[in-house]
Amino acid sequence: MKRFGYGKGALTKAVEDAILKWISTIGEETVSFEGDPIKILDGILSGIDVDAVSLQHKIMALWLSKVSTNVSD
């Protein structure tokens, strides 16, 4: 939060920056959004009929299952 501060819109800027960095590390092509990336994600998730808390729990379970398979013994 030091980078973006604690003011209004700082969290949105931090999320946008994190998403862009994450996507750019996955693929070799440069990533550029036309418009607001948060609105794009909101559009992608609009068809999902699950409340936010349930979705977070499902994502956590998915992440834990993937992490546990990539851990060395």
* Spans of the chain, pLDDT less than 70: 1, 27-33, 70-73
Give the domain range for residue 15: 10-69
- Whether 63 is in a domain gets the answer yes
The confidence score (pLDDT) of residue 29 equals 58
What SS3 state is found at 51?
Answer: coil
The confidence score (pLDDT) of residue 33 equals 65
The confidence score (pLDDT) of residue 30 equals 58
- Whether 3 is in a domain gets the answer no
pTM: 0.35
Q: Domain count of the chain?
A: 1
Q: How far apart are the first and last CA of the chain?
A: 35
- Whether 2 is in a domain gets the answer no
- Whether 5 is in a domain gets the answer no
